[in-house]
Chain A
Amino acid sequence: MVRLNINGKTLDLDVDPDQPLLWAIREQAGLTGTKYGCGVAQCGACTVHIDGAAVRSCSFPVSAAVGKKITTIEGLAQGKTLHKVQQAWLQHEVPQCGYCQSGMMMAVAALLKEKPKPTDADINAAITNICRCGTFQEVRAAIHTAAKA
């Protein structure tokens, strides 16, 4: 058993401590909003927060998350109030297929915490998630909107 704190809840999960956190989140904790895209930290679809920092959970061992605060897309909103990133995503209608957007929004939420008013250059450096639908134009606009919120 491994004890993890996910979205404010303490969970005791029957999981190999060496396995990637992604699959513990998806398969043991049952939180499927965090997506598998590549398994090698290339695409960012699996991005979650560990103590507030964006982490690609497909390449992050469960053991390294023990004792830390894990936040997934399901924990981004405060109850029914959407996070400002989700709100901006809604306003700009960012998602197409939407599969990469959980990870994209988690990456952006972490960026805004660190840099509340990111420049385009900041965005280019920090947001390296892959979106095959090609939503980048809306993503950028939504980041700037969220930064103003």
Chain B
Amino acid sequence: MKLNRRSFIIGSAGAAGGLALGLRLPFGPAVARAQDGSPEIGVWVAIAPDDSVNIRVVRSEMGQGTITGLAQLVAEELECNWSKVKIEYPTPGESVRRKRAWGEFSTGGSRGIRESHEYVRKGGAAARMMLVQAAATQWSVPVSECSASNSVITHKGSGRKTTYGKVAEKAAQLEVPKDIKLKDPKDWKIVGKPVKRLDTMDKLTGKMVYGIDVKLPGMLNAAIKACPVFGGKVKGFDAAAVSSMKGVKKVVQVGDNAVAVVAETWWQAKSALDKLSITWDEGDNAKVSSESIAEMLKAGLDADQAFVGNKNGGDVKQALSGAAKKVEAVYAYPFQNHAPMEPMNMTARYTPEKCELWGPTQNYEGAFAAALAASGLPADKVDVYRTMLGGGFGRRGAYPDDYVTQAVLIAKEMPGTPVKMLWSREEDMAQGRYHPIMQCKLVGGLDEKGNLTGLHMRLSGQSILAAVRPEVVQAQKGRDPLSFQGVFESGEHAFTYDVPNLLIDHAMRNTHVPPGFWRGVNINQNAVFIECFMDELAEAAGQDPLEFRRKLLGKSPRALGVLNAVAKKIGWDKPAPKGVYRGIAHLKAFNSYVAGAAEISVTGGNKVKVLRLVGATDPGYAVNPAQIERQVSGSFVYGLSALFMQECTVKDGRIVQSNFHDYPSMRIAQMPKVETVLNATGGDTWGGIGEPTICVAAPAVLNAFYKATGKRIRTVPLKNHGIEMV
């Protein structure tokens, strides 16, 4: 692809600073440049004469701290002055033109750091080598006699010194080295340290620009409503009735299932949309309810056909029928919405020559692809510019026919005029990509000594990938491997327990409710199912839940490591204080080993106070311990909100819950004391941070609740059992 000589600036006239994006190429030597004109030293780094360092990041920052962590990795190898580091975001259009020089943009599956740490570190190292080479050439000395530290290059023999900024132009013209040796982790100075986030200040003053804050000259605003019954279509709407309302510019149908009002302000657009009468062709899905879905899933629990996710050599049926004691239980997990604080939105401007988008997404390449399809323009006429994300949690990933597509379709109705489309909270609740619904039947067999001899875990419910990445499911002959996260046969979500006769399978039962990747994805339900059932088995065996697990973890020392860590921290070997009850859980997820231990008290049989939650994680390597602590405690808030109070129910084919009054989220009064144990044990693989720990909060609390009350709760959320989080 040809490199264009142009620069991309978000909201060139209106948007705040700090969002200057992209790259430009001047005439003259083939040196790519950052927005401030500084030359690129390899693709990951550009350095200005004043020594300021632009580090390129293409993953999305949604609060998880990825831009800081990725910058630490580059800076570690670059040997630059950390206080001079700034972040710059290449656009997906630029990525296409430069043959994906920065790799994958998608930010999900806790992959931001663990899947790019090596190439970004190499990018930092390559830039350092080029800078040192440029200085050596200038001094006419062997490069081996020069070294770099804190953005200063020193020649050992003569003591001469120069800075990165002074040699950057020369360095930029050098070939990017290919043979790169990375530091031994024990020599890290920036990686592994709790350095401060790079994006805090603007979040304190109101300056940070999220998608909802984008301002462009002449911009209009759109409010939108899609058919509340998924799969339904627009039958008709009475545009004339609202067209004369103040500020209203146009009422447009968006695709076959939505209507938008475009107005001067969003409040005007929303007010008109609320008054607009729309008739829908709701189709057969309007007959679907939570009850009908539950029936369908229930039938899957005993169905003959199921996809196998984990099976060892043993004969489960035989082991269970011959067991001295058999334990059986059925669990269920509901649909849940992500409800990030910033509702879905995207700003788009379309002309036949150019389609440009501004807004929050976890996958700028995915948004780019959606914009290509919706605009009908070729790749060199489309681009997507970045804003901060007001939360993501998986909702802003790439889903078919989602908000990016809508924004482009609206913009096409108003050529040349930028239009910011913002969903109301109610629309956000009605048009989610929901946590999949799942039921699970578990049957375990124990021998006379209380050893677990057989386990059958049957999942029945929705597949995310069947809806979102059908090609993956097709390649697996219909199986969705993601359904087995945390209990899978191998890999980053492998089951940790060593059970002699094991079968874990999935009767796929898909619904018309569109599923999505919801922080932690399928580990949320799988951890509840397996880790609560482990407690049930331990009780049937007359054993301590921790001891029972330890015996099954002989082949998984890292799992044992985190489990022992939380047990130690919570004080498992000593009795809990009076009125305090404990529960424990663990899982392997996203290549990290995680465990949780809870202390709770219960009053009146139903008022639960989560007093303490200890979380341990072994991600192999830790880039920023301070941010890891925040991800652990933050994930517990997300997970406990889901456990206690969140469920999306279906009536007449649509989601019943509409806002935070009937889909509540934890407040500070309900916050337990969270203690994090970081147990990074190294090794060959890097584990994720943002998601894994979420899954241990719910089963640890449920197990503690059983100890407190003798009641085994097997369906989420707890509000349906009259249980309250206080």
Binding site for B on A (CB under 8 A): 16, 19-20, 23, 27-28, 30-40, 42-43, 45, 72-74, 76-77, 82, 86, 89-90, 93, 95-102, 105, 123-125, 127-140
Contact = CB atoms under 8 A, between A and B. Distances in A.
Interface in B205-220: 205-210, 212-213, 215
Contact of A36 (B197, B212, B661): B212
Given A38-B660, A97-B390, A138-B630, 7 more contacts: A23-B265, A23-B266, A36-B422, A37-B342, A95-B203, A100-B341, A129-B668
B669 interface: yes
B196 A40 contact: no
Contact of B425 (A28, A38, A89, A96): A38
B388 interface: yes
B196 to A, nearest CB: 6
A37 B660 CA distance: 9
B659 A95 contact: no
Contact of B341 (A32, A76, A99, A136): A99
B342 A137 contact: no
A129 B667 contact: yes
B634 interface: yes
B173 interface: no
B666 interface: yes
Given A27-B267, A32-B209, A45-B341, A101 B668 contact: no
Nearest to A31: B206
Contacts of B197: 93, 95
16 contacts: A31-B206, A35-B210, A35-B390, A37-B425, A38-B659, A39-B424, A74-B207, A82-B204, A82-B205, A90-B200, A95-B204, A96-B630, A98-B390, A128-B667, A132-B339, A133-B637
**Chain B: interface residue count, which band?**
35 or more
A93 B342 contact: no
B393 interface: yes
Contacts of B674: 137
B430 to A, nearest CB: 14
B626 A99 contact: no
Given A73-B205, A89-B204, A133-B391, A124 B341 contact: no
B635 A134 contact: yes
Q: Which 6 A-B pairs have the closest CB atoms?
A: A33-B206, A134-B637, A97-B63, A98-B203, A96-B63, A99-B390
Contacts of B63: 95-98, 133
Contacts of B237: none
B265 A27 contact: yes
B665 A130 contact: yes
Contacts of B163: none
Given A74-B205, A132-B341, A97 B424 contact: no
B204 A90 contact: yes
Given A42-B660, A132-B341, A93 B200 contact: yes
Nearest to B633: A137
B201 interface: yes
Interface SS majority for chain B: loop
Contacts of A124: 667-669
Nearest to A82: B204
B412 to A, nearest CB: 24
B231 interface: no
B246 interface: yes
A47 to B, nearest CB: 12
Interface SS majority for chain A: loop
A49 to B, nearest CB: 13
B192 interface: no
Nearest to B196: A93
A97 to B, nearest CB: 3
A112 B594 CA distance: 38
A97 B338 CA distance: 14
Report which residue of B210, B630, B665, B666 has the largest number of chain A beta carbons within 10 angstroms of its beta carbon.
Answer: B630
B343 interface: yes
Contact of B200 (A76, A95, A133): A95
B212 A35 contact: yes
A108 B215 CA distance: 29
A34 B210 CA distance: 11
B223 to A, nearest CB: 11
B633 A97 contact: no
B668 A123 contact: yes
Nearest to A100: B341
A147 to B, nearest CB: 15
A134 B205 contact: no
B669 A125 contact: yes
Nearest to A138: B630
A77 B206 CA distance: 11
Interface string B284-319: 000000000000000000000000000000000000
Contacts of B200: 89-90, 93, 95, 98
Contacts of A127: 667-668
B112 to A, nearest CB: 14
Contacts of B422: 36
B668 A139 contact: yes
B389 interface: yes
Contacts of A73: 205-206
B391 A132 contact: yes
Contacts of A20: 267
B102 interface: no
Contact of B342 (A28, A33, A35, A140): A35
Report which residue of A19, A93, A138 has the largest number of chain B beta carbons within 10 angstroms of its beta carbon.
Answer: A93
Interface in B633-648: 633-638
Nearest to B343: A36
Contact of A130 (B213, B266, B660): B660
B62 interface: yes
B252 interface: no
A136 to B, nearest CB: 4
Contacts of B72: none
A102 B390 CA distance: 12
Contacts of B669: 123-125, 128
Nearest to B429: A38
B671 interface: yes
A77 B205 contact: yes
A134 B697 CA distance: 13
B671 A40 contact: no
